[in-house]
Chain A
Amino acid sequence: MNGLRAFIVCLVVACAAVVSPVVVVSPAAAVPRSWSALPVPAAAPPVIVSDLAARGPGEAWATGYEYAADEWRPILYRWDGTTWSRDTTIPGAGEPGWLGKMQFVGEEMWILHSRAGVVEILRRSAGGWSAVPLPQELWTYQDFAAVPGAAWVIGEDDTGLKVLRYDGSGWTTQSTPDGVLYLMGITARTATDAWAWADTDTGTTVLRWDGTAWRDAKVSLPPNSNVHTIMLEPSGRVTIGGSRYTDGVARTYLMTGNGHAWHTTYPPLGDTDTEAMVRGPDGALWLPVRSDRAFQSRYARVDGLRTTFSYGPERTNAIDVKPRALARAGSSLLSFGTVEIYGSKPNLMSERLGG
């Protein structure tokens, strides 16, 4: 009788284990819990957030610019794993200018920087700051990418589109295929593997640099679409995010592939801009989305065909919470952006998932 009872108990336990959801947690990809608010020392509003970049759980940086003493000034914030603090050691901290996109290059961190009207690449190393001036001035600085051995600044001057490339010692001006009117953005994986998306006379086109020339990457984007971002991963995976227009209605699409074969999906994101999309510590794609609540941010997690949503922490008296950039910091996900508290101008905010 005891044996039978034991058997039945085991059967019940086994059935329960099958019926109840079992979450497999692997150490490398912790199951996200909930978002928490991280205090950020205030900047002088209005404030614009440019970029967020992280290198491990104990180092992240955020760039942007604030409006202080009647001029725009660069701001740089640093995350040490526990707190956000303002870094005022950057050259030109008190001068008019802005800080833009950041890239980790080897041991260094490179930032596109405008200082009193002159744009340069600011380099931060263990020894301090140095700058790489641009070979010429541009009308607009559309994007910036940097990897060991190569950096690109793309934009436009009075002669048209400009692709400026730095190889560590000098600059060259690169040409693009015929029909390319303007480069909207650039991402680089190595000095001989960079991708850009361009506005051409036949629509949006994806270009690829292979170390010798920029060529049409022959990516069949969805019809009537644009590109928000191209994400390159060390594994070789490429993810393109953009909007497809059908009868005037825009819908977000994602194309993933290895550069040759592509798979296109249309996650339920409305027409969300995917520019801030990142690969999270859990292997899924994460991006901020427009929130339907005044007092909370909202994020989407896209895992293949499954899209789920989560809210940031509730913020008392907030009427607009806008994460602008995301970064993976070790096993947690960081966001950086602005929050508008009723009665004050929008100021900086940061949130973290996990950790």
Chain B
Amino acid sequence: MARRLLVAALAVAVTIATTMGSAGAEPPSWQPVPVPAQVRPQAGLNEAVALGPDRAWAVGADAVGREAPGFPLILRWDGSAWQRQSLPGIGWQGELLSIAATSPTAVWAVGRDSAGGAHLLRFDGIAWYESRPPRGVALTKVVAGGGETWLIGSRNGAQVLLRRHGNGWRDVPVPPGFVYGLHILAADDVWAAGATDSGATVSHWNGQTWRQTIVDGFPRSAVGSVLAVSPTEVWAGGTAGFVGGPPGRPIPPLLVRWDGQAWSRVAVPTDFGSISSLAPTTSGAPIWVSVARSQKWGPPGSYPPLVPGPDFLAWNGQSFTEYSEPAVAGEGDSRVFLLAPVPGTATVWSVGRADGPEGTFAARVLRFG
């Protein structure tokens, strides 16, 4: 009787240990998520936005030829798979560059056709349709936040910013230099990442004026992403710039942080590449940093001297945890990672384009958590 009890107890213990072991054995990592088969080669994704665990959007282009322009591409995540969104009213060729949403029924995308013309698409909860873009503006990005929707573009070569006002778009004053990215907290609380001739800049809009700071003065440094976690914690990422040859020499990434007093450079565990995206997750979960073309010095004396560096960095408040993208059969490495956090969760999407076979490129979707 005692022995039978012991055997039973042991069996239960082993079962519990195995279950716990299999559940806890694999730490979370970045996994590839299949792109729908209807996406035609060559394809690439430029940005994504997630509204919740069961709804996300990604934009880019597909059927891009060696010389021929492709077609605008929108993918929709429905909670279990990505689907290709049909766009019956969209007759132009080109690509969608950017997507942002203020709500599940107010999603905007910015595109450029093969003649260089700007396009603005809007999703109202039911369908995607063309919306009239601001006249004369070449659009590159749409950014949403705090109920606001802003557009980044240029007019006759000059930087412009516009914000949604009523049924139209209104120009907003621009900080000096270029603006590559925004983080919008409210109509009177907007951070901009960019660059001037003096280096990488981060600017803040208080509803009336811009206040600009040069966060790195190295020639040709620039930041393209900015993330304001709080008034005393703002991150910006980009490229550290370089002067001198040889041509093609990789450039170090730039990551800076505002602590309420000053901007300081944050060391990253990779030597070359550029910060392509910053993403917050829920409080308690890390801030994500993606690095495009990440490379670092290999062991001394090794050849080639540079080895692949981490593609994703998770900041836990103290240090970075490094992650590499998973291998995808038949494809090479990604060229860029655009992050889209899923609100209210620790899940993050990454979209971009990766090297395909025979010098082609392919759309890539990865997910963490």
Contact = CB atoms under 8 A, between A and B. Distances in A.
Interface stretch (B81-89, B237-245, B278-286, B354-362): B354-362
Interface string A75-114: 0000000000000000000000000000000000000000
A124 to B, nearest CB: 35
Interface stretch (A11-19, A289-297, A323-331): A289-297
Interface string A177-197: 000000000000000000000
Interface in B65-90: 65-70
Nearest to A298: B68
A342 B357 CA distance: 8
Given A342-B42, A343-B330, A295 B63 contact: yes
Contacts of B69: 292
Contact of B63 (A294, A343, A344): A294
Contacts of A340: 66, 358
Interface residues of B, number: 18
Nearest to B62: A294
Q: Name, among A295, A320, A342, A344, the residue most crowded by chain B CB atoms within 10 Å (CB to CB).
A: A342
A293 B64 CA distance: 8
A292 B114 contact: yes
A293 B67 CA distance: 9
B93 interface: yes
Contacts of A292: 68-69, 93, 114
B356 A320 contact: no
Contacts of B358: 340, 343-345
B239 to A, nearest CB: 30
Nearest to B64: A294
Contacts, number: 51
B40 interface: yes
Residue of A294, A320, A340 with most chain B CB atoms under a 10 A cut-off? A294
B134 interface: no
Contacts of B114: 292
Interface centre among B40, B114, B356 (most CB of A within 10 A): B40
Contacts of B41: 294, 317, 319, 342-343
Contacts of A317: 40-41
Contacts of A319: 41-42, 64-66, 360
B356 A342 contact: yes
Given A319-B64, A342-B356, A295 B40 contact: yes
A293 B357 contact: no
Contact of B70 (A294, A343, A344): A294
B12 to A, nearest CB: 52
Contacts of B330: 343
Contact of A290 (B40, B64, B67, B70): B67
B313 to A, nearest CB: 32
Contacts of A294: 40-42, 63-66, 68, 70
Nearest to B68: A294
Contact of B357 (A290, A291, A295, A343): A343
A257 to B, nearest CB: 34
Contacts of A295: 40, 63, 65
Determine which residue in B63, B69, B70 has the highest number of CB atoms from chain A within 10 A of its CB, and name it. Answer: B63
A342 B65 CA distance: 10
A292 B114 CA distance: 9
A252 B73 CA distance: 34
> Which one of A292, A319, A342, A345 has the highest number of Cβ atoms from chain B below 10 Å of its Cβ?
A319
A198 B114 CA distance: 37
A318 to B, nearest CB: 8
A290 B65 CA distance: 11
Nearest to B357: A343
B63 A320 contact: no
A45 to B, nearest CB: 10
Nearest to A341: B41
Interface in A296-329: 317, 319-320
Contacts of A290: 67-68
A16 B69 CA distance: 42
6 contacts: A290-B67, A290-B68, A319-B42, A342-B42, A344-B358, A345-B358
Interface of B: 40-42, 63-70, 93, 114, 330, 356-358, 360
Given A292-B69, A294-B42, 20 more contacts: A291-B65, A291-B68, A292-B93, A294-B40, A294-B64, A295-B40, A317-B41, A319-B41, A319-B65, A319-B360, A320-B66, A340-B358, A342-B42, A343-B41, A343-B356, A343-B357, A343-B358, A343-B360, A344-B358, A345-B358
Q: 3 tightest A-B contacts by CB? A: A294-B65, A342-B41, A320-B66
